Chain A
Amino acid sequence: MRHLRLGLMAATVVAAASFQINTVTAGEIVVGLQCDRTGPTQTVGTFLCPGYHDYVKLVNSRGGIGGHTIKVMEIDHEYKVPPGMEAYQRMKKGGAVVVAIYGTPHTQALTPLLHEDKIPGTSPGFGTAAAANGKKYPFLFPIAATYWSQGAAAVQFAKEQLGGVLKGKKIAYIYYDNPAGREPLPILHKLRDMEGFTLKEFAIPPPGVEMKVQVQDIARRFRADFVLNHTFGKAPSVSINEFTRQGYPLNKMIGFVWAAGESNIMGAGGWHKAQGYYVLQMAGAGSKYKVLDDIKALYKSEGKSPPKEMESTVYYNRGLMWAAIALKAVENAVKAKGGSANVTGADVQKGFENISNFSLGGILPPLKVTAEDHEGGGWVQVFQVKGEAFVPISKWMHGYRETVMEMVASH
């Protein structure tokens, strides 16, 4: 009976706590952030979400937006869809005016809800590529290169690397065998027909830690001239090692945005294992950006050392980018409302569609989001592993933009 009483007491405490959900106070604007700090892609979320928080902290330390404080409502969903749905409802109840979604299945499940509730959601670098079409998906903002734009940019880069002509060349596409992994296929097929190269697809079954056969095929039998590597989680690390083992040069391979983090390089055994590996980035990698110095200075002024997550620059900077774009949209909305904190999701949606030439000192691409183009241009920047860092080797670029936009419009 003692156990029973203990259990009942614990239950009461939990129940009491769960009814204390914070509500909006005056002069405060709430933004929602869905994270994956505990699920299968925690190598991303653990670094990305602190980036988001730190940027908001920086903005708040400078007086917020038009004098209003920004409050982040972060909820971890373990990369499962039901908790993601619940998290969204909780953010809606909490008065969030913009929600950063995390995960392709979550984006798909939340798209109709965003539309019904008129709350803009961001899906940078994942989700459906067709969502770039702002007319069809008014409340969904990819705001960074979708899988189609990444595929097109990768082919563009391969073309430059292979001497400007792709005709007769052999390109291998190695991908994680799930919907997100297959998403770039339509654009790759289209470009293959346009440019006349041979494209061979190599699927890696989940969980993506065994790809010896596929890599051997690419390196020895197919003898690809260039490899497009679209893998997630642990798979990029494994692929780097596997390609090295088969004697395939890493400077003939480009990783898409989720195969491009420091954690992926560390997983392969460190920088020296990945020399020459090209990656696509949607936000600048490295620590040579002014905004990062500002954040460090902010921590210093508080007498603290900057968070260790900052060392994983790729994902940290991406979190910063997500926050920066969302807050820019909020700022536009606040301005449009004459400085009032009383903005709605619909106002912020308009705010997103008025973002242009916002690059935060080069860490962001020269975004231009319009009512038609919710992708903001589909920009990526190519980086290469050199020494102990990702080194930028191109300007912000996009490839075959007309072709991509044609496909988006016709989808």
Chain B
Amino acid sequence: MFHRESGYFKTTYQSDMALYPLPIGKAAIAGLAILFFIIFPLVLDEYYLTLVNLAAIAVVGALGLNILLGYCGQISIGHAAFMSVGAYTAANFAVHFHFPFWLTIPAGGAVAALIGLFVGLPALRVKGLYLAIATLAAQFIIEWTLNHTPIISGGIQASIEMPRPELFGEVLETQTEMYFFLMPLSVIAILATLNLVRSRIGRVFIAIRDQEIAAEIIGINVYRYKLLAFAVSSFYAGVAGVMATYYYGIANYEAFQLPISIDYLAMCIIGGLGSVLGSVFGAVFITLLPFGVRVFMETVGVYFVDGVYLAQVIAQMRLIIFGGLIIFFLVVEPEGLNKLWQNIRNYFRVWPFSY
């Protein structure tokens, strides 16, 4: 009823190419923009902004992995390692050369992309699980290198203190200020991905994913585009790493280890492979669900468990419920949260006359 395509006629090329051709789409985006950039910072407490900030960082990382995994069909288990490359690059530039954030962010992304190109080389020969192992190796090699190269990682602790980002001489410190720093980057990443995947490059990625040989036969240089996918994906990871570093105030490879790579894989799979909105859903789901479950347990658990053991039960139940919900959502909709959202939309599209 609300979301209906009929009756809107496109009379110019521009309107045909618009990201959101329907008025309801435009209105929704405007509404979201008002919600995120005016209402949230005004209404939400700093603590809740912390959650949104963490999710904003995860969104950028998840988008990057989804371009590679969901659109181009190449798996990577080294995503967090690329984030650490971005993190250390930015930290070094910021500390030694006093680069402002608008230089460290592209620099971190670019160096990560370069390393990503290199790591992508095995993808030219191997596929699927074999590629997974090759990228897993990259995760460990990058971790080891950072751990043992004081010139890059800043000494025995392998960590570099990151100065807070500055904008017009104003140091961004509080959660609200960081929110206005991280959120626009996240929005830029979403818009860039939306446009990338409907461009020629994005379509090539999808062609490679769906049938590599067919793609090659119609004249696509598969090798080049696979490497490009790795580079683009690593660029996103690098940027996410820089954002995380500014946010944590420290570049430390221990914040980007294998479990984080797995978390990002989970975000893409739960959110929905090959979908931008799915990456956002997945990132928000994986980042916020543990907190939600914990608060839920703390509220409800009091009625079931005795005081001393409550903390222990909360900690364990959080993991159990978290795992259970992931299975639940994947059973209900194997194609991810994005498909679930599509179902809701399609239901309301014809509601109340569903037949």
Q: Given A1-B347, A74-B311, are A92 and B156 neighbors across the interface (CB < 8 Å)?
A: no
CB-defined contacts of A7 to chain B, threshold 8 Å? 329, 332, 340
How many residues of A are in contact with the other chain, CB < 8 A? 50
Contact between A15 and B292, CB atoms less than 8 A apart: yes
Binding site for B on A (CB under 8 A): 1, 3-4, 7, 13-15, 17-18, 20-21, 35, 37-38, 46, 49-50, 53-54, 74-76, 80-83, 85-86, 89-90, 92-93, 104-105, 108-109, 111-113, 116, 128, 177-179, 182-183, 185-186, 205, 307
Contact between A108 and B50, CB atoms less than 8 A apart: no
A341 CB, nearest partner CB in chain B, Å: 22
How many residues of B are in contact with the other chain, CB < 8 A? 49
CB-defined contacts of B294 to chain A, threshold 8 Å? 75-76
Q: Given A4-B344, A37-B312, A53-B311, are A109 and B249 neighbors across the interface (CB < 8 Å)?
A: yes
B251 CB, nearest partner CB in chain A, Å: 10
B1-9, B20-28, B216-224, B315-323 - the one binding chain A: B315-323
Contact between B318 and A76, CB atoms less than 8 A apart: yes
Closest 3 A/B residue pairs (Cβ): A37-B315, A76-B315, A93-B47
Question: Which chain A residue shows the least CB distance to B159?
Answer: A108
Determine whether B314 belongs to the interface, using a CB cutoff of 8 Å to chain A.
Answer: yes
B54-78 interface with A by 8 A CB criterion: 54
CB-defined contacts of B314 to chain A, threshold 8 Å? 76
Q: Given A14-B292, A18-B291, A50-B308, are A38 and B248 neighbors across the interface (CB < 8 Å)?
A: no
Question: Which chain A residue shows the least CB distance to B173?
Answer: A116
Q: Given A35-B315, A109-B252, A178-B147, are A83 and B157 neighbors across the interface (CB < 8 Å)?
A: no
Contact partner of B254 among A18, A92, A105, A182, CB < 8 A?
A: A105
CB-defined contacts of B158 to chain A, threshold 8 Å? 178-179, 182
Contact between B50 and A86, CB atoms less than 8 A apart: yes
A80–B347 Cα gap in the complex (Å)?
39
Contact partner of A76 among B173, B259, B311, CB < 8 A?
A: B311
B34-42, B91-99, B109-117, B295-303 - the one binding chain A: B295-303
CB-defined contacts of A182 to chain B, threshold 8 Å? 156-158
A66–B347 Cα gap in the complex (Å)?
61
- Selected A-B contacts with CB under 8 Å, 15 pairs: A3-B332, A7-B332, A14-B293, A20-B299, A21-B295, A53-B308, A85-B54, A86-B291, A92-B47, A93-B45, A104-B254, A108-B161, A111-B250, A186-B156, A205-B144
A179–B259 Cα gap in the complex (Å)?
18
A109–B251 Cα gap in the complex (Å)?
9
Most buried by A among B45, B295, B311, B314: B311
Contact partner of B159 among A15, A74, A75, A179, CB < 8 A?
A: A179
Contact partner of B156 among A54, A83, A112, A185, CB < 8 A?
A: A185
Contact between B311 and A37, CB atoms less than 8 A apart: yes
Q: Given A49-B311, A186-B156, are A81 and B344 neighbors across the interface (CB < 8 Å)?
A: no
Most buried by A among B45, B260, B299: B299
Determine whether B175 belongs to the interface, using a CB cutoff of 8 Å to chain A.
Answer: yes
Apart from A46-B312, A83-B291, A179-B156, 18 more pairs, CB < 8 Å:
A14-B296, A18-B292, A18-B296, A35-B311, A53-B311, A74-B311, A75-B294, A76-B318, A86-B50, A90-B50, A93-B45, A105-B250, A108-B252, A112-B250, A116-B173, A178-B158, A179-B252, A307-B308
CB-defined contacts of A15 to chain B, threshold 8 Å? 292
CB-defined contacts of B316 to chain A, threshold 8 Å? 37-38
The secondary structure that dominates the B interface is helix
CB-defined contacts of A3 to chain B, threshold 8 Å? 332
CB-defined contacts of B47 to chain A, threshold 8 Å? 21, 89-90, 92-93
Determine whether B166 belongs to the interface, using a CB cutoff of 8 Å to chain A.
Answer: no
Determine whether B255 belongs to the interface, using a CB cutoff of 8 Å to chain A.
Answer: yes
B157 CB, nearest partner CB in chain A, Å: 4
A307–B311 Cα gap in the complex (Å)?
13
Question: Which chain A residue shows the least CB distance to B314?
Answer: A76
A23–B46 Cα gap in the complex (Å)?
15
Determine whether B51 belongs to the interface, using a CB cutoff of 8 Å to chain A.
Answer: yes
CB-defined contacts of A89 to chain B, threshold 8 Å? 46-47, 50, 175
Contact between B347 and A17, CB atoms less than 8 A apart: no
Contact between B156 and A178, CB atoms less than 8 A apart: no
B126 CB, nearest partner CB in chain A, Å: 25
A256 CB, nearest partner CB in chain B, Å: 16
A128–B252 Cα gap in the complex (Å)?
13
CB-defined contacts of B161 to chain A, threshold 8 Å? 108, 112
Contact with A along B241-283 (1 / 0, CB 8 A): 0000001111010110001100000000000000000000000
Determine whether B343 belongs to the interface, using a CB cutoff of 8 Å to chain A.
Answer: yes
CB-defined contacts of A178 to chain B, threshold 8 Å? 147, 158, 254
Q: Given A53-B311, A76-B314, are A17 and B299 neighbors across the interface (CB < 8 Å)?
A: yes
Question: Which chain A residue shows the least CB distance to B174?
Answer: A116
B181 CB, nearest partner CB in chain A, Å: 15
A260–B312 Cα gap in the complex (Å)?
23
Contact partner of A179 among B50, B157, B332, CB < 8 A?
A: B157
CB-defined contacts of A104 to chain B, threshold 8 Å? 254
Question: Which chain A residue shows the least CB distance to B51?
Answer: A86
Contact partner of B255 among A53, A54, A109, A186, CB < 8 A?
A: A109
A81–B260 Cα gap in the complex (Å)?
10
Contact between A108 and B157, CB atoms less than 8 A apart: yes
A186–B157 Cα gap in the complex (Å)?
11
B209 CB, nearest partner CB in chain A, Å: 29
Contact partner of A85 among B248, B290, B296, CB < 8 A?
A: B248
CB-defined contacts of B247 to chain A, threshold 8 Å? 85
Contact between B290 and A83, CB atoms less than 8 A apart: yes
A112–B249 Cα gap in the complex (Å)?
7
Contact partner of A113 among B249, B295, B299, CB < 8 A?
A: B249
A135 CB, nearest partner CB in chain B, Å: 17
Contact partner of B252 among A50, A53, A105, A116, CB < 8 A?
A: A105
Determine whether B338 belongs to the interface, using a CB cutoff of 8 Å to chain A.
Answer: no
A205–B148 Cα gap in the complex (Å)?
11
Contact partner of A108 among B164, B250, B299, CB < 8 A?
A: B250
Question: Which chain A residue shows the least CB distance to B347?
Answer: A1
A221–B295 Cα gap in the complex (Å)?
55
A114–B315 Cα gap in the complex (Å)?
25
B159 CB, nearest partner CB in chain A, Å: 6
B262 CB, nearest partner CB in chain A, Å: 12
Q: Given A7-B332, A37-B315, A105-B255, are A82 and B308 neighbors across the interface (CB < 8 Å)?
A: no
Contact between B254 and A179, CB atoms less than 8 A apart: yes
B298 CB, nearest partner CB in chain A, Å: 8
Contact between B292 and A177, CB atoms less than 8 A apart: no
B60 CB, nearest partner CB in chain A, Å: 14
Determine whether B135 belongs to the interface, using a CB cutoff of 8 Å to chain A.
Answer: no
Contact between A38 and B319, CB atoms less than 8 A apart: yes
B121 CB, nearest partner CB in chain A, Å: 25
CB-defined contacts of B54 to chain A, threshold 8 Å? 82, 85-86
